[in-house]
Amino acid sequence: MVNLARASRRRDIREDLVPRPEGGRQVGPAYSSRLIEFVSGRWRPEIAARRAESLRRAIACLKRLTRAA
């Protein structure tokens, strides 16, 4: 994810998600809040699942679990 952000043309995305080398961390300063924003606002898991087999299985698994509960 960080590498995707690194290639972004938008400076705000790069600055929020990509860690500064001097900081010694794996993610940037506003990484989790950006992801929360993305996941809750824009992300469409069903469409993403068409391209990601593991996500498709995870969703199917969760659906089974909720049916069982």
- Determine if 19 is a binding residue for another protein (CB under 8 A): yes
CA-based Rg of the chain, rounded to a whole angstrom?
Answer: 16
Q: Using CB under 8 A as the criterion, what x/- string covers residues 30-49 for binding another protein?
A: xxxx----------------
- How many whole angstroms separate alpha carbon 17 and alpha carbon 24? 14
- Determine if 2 is a binding residue for another protein (CB under 8 A): no
Token pair for 15? 């600055």
Nearer to another protein, 27 or 49 (CB): 27
- Determine if 27 is a binding residue for another protein (CB under 8 A): yes
